Amino acid sequence: MTKAHGFHQHDHAACISDALTTAEAYCAARKLQFTPVRRRTLEVLLAHHRTMGAYEVLGHLDASGFGAQPPVAYRALDFLVKHGFAHKVEAMNAYVACSHSGAQHVPAFLICRQCSTVQEAQIEPMQNGLGDAANDAGFAIERAVVEAQGLCPSCQQSAPE
């Protein structure tokens, strides 16, 4: 089975199991607890393959027999984000599975304002002008949020305006 990945097609089932395997290995190596809720949360994000609100994720966790209260979802999502298995798209207050599991990177997103599809890109941390500004100011960057909003290829055709 294939499904849209960013704005392309790909083998969705393999991508899910690969990401889970990678996360499992990463956690095992660092003695992190890849618990059932956390695993299920990542599965949910991977399966949907788009940004999801915390409450939408929570609905799936509840349906899977986990707790039904917000902290259940927020804690699992925080764990995934902290360890790089997922990202928070700040401009949407939503979460998405990482497309480059395990790799250390500065995530950047191309967010379609029409269909809400999000493609994750990678950028060079210090090559974006921000690094220079930070150096000039003596600011120590710990984390960067880079998000572009606009129209994806298919929405440019359906709504070129």
Partner DNA sequence: GAATTATATGTAATGATATAACATATCAAG
Partner DNA sequence: CTTGATATGTTATATCATTACATATAATTC
Least Å from the CB of residue 99 to DNA: 20
* Closest alpha carbon to 56 in 86, 87, 77: 77
Cα dihedral 3, 41, 102, 145 in deg (nearest 10): 90
Interacting residue with DNA among 9, 10, 55, 149 (CB under 7 A): 55
Helix (H, G, I), strand (E, B) or coil at 98: coil
Query: Which positions from 102 through 141 interact with DNA, judged by CB under 7 A?
Result: none
Give CB contacts under 8 A, 24+ apart, made by 64-73: 64/40, 66/36, 66/37, 66/40, 67/37, 72/37, 73/41
Partner from DNA, its own copies, none contacting 29, C-beta within 5 to 8 A by type: none
Does the footprint of its own copies cover residue 121 (CB under 8 A)? yes
* Closest alpha carbon to 76 in 47, 34, 118, 109: 34
Helix (H, G, I), strand (E, B) or coil at 15: helix
Query: Which positions from 76 through 95 interact with DNA, judged by CB under 7 A?
Result: 76, 79, 93-94
Query: Which positions from 9 through 68 interact with its own copies, judged by CB under 8 A?
Result: none
Interacting span for DNA (CB under 7 A) from 5-13, 67-75, 102-110, 116-124: 67-75
Q: Are 70 and 58 in contact (CB under 8 A)?
A: yes
Interacting residue with DNA among 67, 84, 102, 131 (CB under 7 A): 67
Least Å from the CB of residue 53 to DNA: 4
Partner from its own copies, DNA, none contacting 63, C-beta within 5 to 8 A by type: none
- Closer of 72 and 112 to its own copies (Cβ): 112
DSSP single-letter state for residue 85: S
| Residues near its own copies, by CB under 8 A | 6-7, 90-91, 93, 108, 110, 112-113, 119, 121-124, 127-130, 133-134, 137-153, 156
